[in-house]
Amino acid sequence: MDILQPHIQLGNNLGIRYALLPGDPTRLDRIAPFLEQVEELKFNREYRSLRGIYKGVPVLAISTGIGGASAGIAVEELRQIGVEAMIRIGSCGSLQPQVKLGDLIIVSGAVRDDGASKTYIEEIFPAVPDAELMMYCIEAAQEKTLPYHVGIARSHDSFYTDNEEAIDAYWSKRGVLGCDMETAALFTIGHLRGVKTASLLNNVVAYEEDTSESIASYVDGESLSMQGERNEILTALEAFVKLEKKRTSL
């Protein structure tokens, strides 16, 4: 019998190994044109899903909402239905002048400034991606000559504390490239559950610019950020093709 997972509302008859994880449910509309045989699946709470085929590889795309708590639930439930590899295709704010609007950050490690990952394991445990999947993302970005940076992101739980400027300055000074809200939970929970993870972040907030204004212009379709979004979707899909080639060649 096909048992539906309580939040994502998907069951294990899907038989899909690879999932793209955007935060925003509307990003699925921009993922769909990259795929063939697109089929919308479910939309429950923040979890909107569709399936499709990219270069012969079946993929699932499912939004995870805002924050590590809801992303963590998605990781757990996707694993229950047999998903083996997940790539976040998120947005982020830049903490470095060289990370321009629409540039990608391929995250090699995340500062665990979120709550969700801490409920699983103590803070000294690192939040890191699957090395091979991250390498496939780097190779794909290189092959497509996309603007990208590889490095650390900080995952946080709020934009609106009284201290945001000082917090950003602190992590910027320590070489952190940008901030999002889900990568730390994705990496930590993925590792503990034996799921391969990677995270690609499209920069939608220029260095030292106002976060809420920049996110609003991204939502309105500002062009560099939108190109960055297409770039991260393409990079993640190409990385899955590489992973599938490796799996089927073994």
Ligand X SMILES: O=c1cc[nH]c(=O)[nH]1
| Three-state secondary structure string covering the chain | CCCCCCCCCCCCCCCCCEEEECCCCCHHHHHHHHCEEEEEEEEECCEEEEEEEECCEEEEEECCCCCHHHHHHHHHHHHHCCCCEEEEEEEEEECCCCCCCCCEEEEEEEEECCCCHHHCCCCCCCECCCHHHHHHHHHHHHHCCCCEEEEEEEECCCCCCCCHHHHHHHHHHCCCCEEECCHHHHHHHHHHHCCEEEEEEEEEECCCCCHHHHHHHHHCCCHHHHHHHHHHHHHHHHHHHHHHHHHHHC
**Dist. CA 37–CA 35, nearest whole Å:** 7
Q: Could you say which of 113, 180, 232, 238 contacts ligand R1P (CB under 6 A)? A: 180
Of 102, 121, 97, nearest in space to 184 by CA: 121
Q: Is 107 in the site for ligand X (CB under 6 A)?
A: no
Total residues at interface with ligand R1P (CB under 6 A): 10
Of 52 and 90, CB closest to ligand R1P: 90
129 binds, among ligand R1P, ligand X, none (CB under 5 to 8 A by kind): none
Of 62 and 101, CB closest to ligand X: 101
> Cβ of 161: how many Cβ atoms within 10 Å?
10
In angstroms, what is the minimal distance from the CB of 149 to ligand R1P?
A: 17
Residue number closest to ligand X, CB atom: 93
**Residues from 177 through 196 that contact ligand X (CB under 6 A):** 179-181
Q: Is 109 in the site for ligand R1P (CB under 6 A)?
A: no
Of 180 and 229, CB closest to ligand X: 180
22 binds, among ligand R1P, ligand X, none (CB under 5 to 8 A by kind): ligand R1P
In angstroms, what is the minimal distance from the CB of 63 to ligand X?
A: 15
Write each residue from 72 to 91 as x if it is in contact with ligand R1P (CB under 6 A), else as -, in one continuous string.
Answer: ------------------xx
Q: Is 60 in the site for ligand X (CB under 6 A)?
A: no
Of 208, 162, 183, nearest in space to 113 by CA: 183
Q: Is 178 in the site for ligand R1P (CB under 6 A)?
A: no
Q: Could you say which of 93, 102, 129, 228 contacts ligand X (CB under 6 A)? A: 93
Of 132 and 157, CB closest to ligand R1P: 157
Total residues at interface with ligand X (CB under 6 A): 10
Q: Is 92 in the site for ligand X (CB under 6 A)?
A: yes
Write each residue from 127 to 146 as x if it is in contact with ligand R1P (CB under 6 A), else as -, in one continuous string.
Answer: --------------------
Residue 7 phi, psi (nearest 5): -100, -45
Contacts to ligand X by CB under 6 A: 91-93, 179-181, 204-205, 211, 215
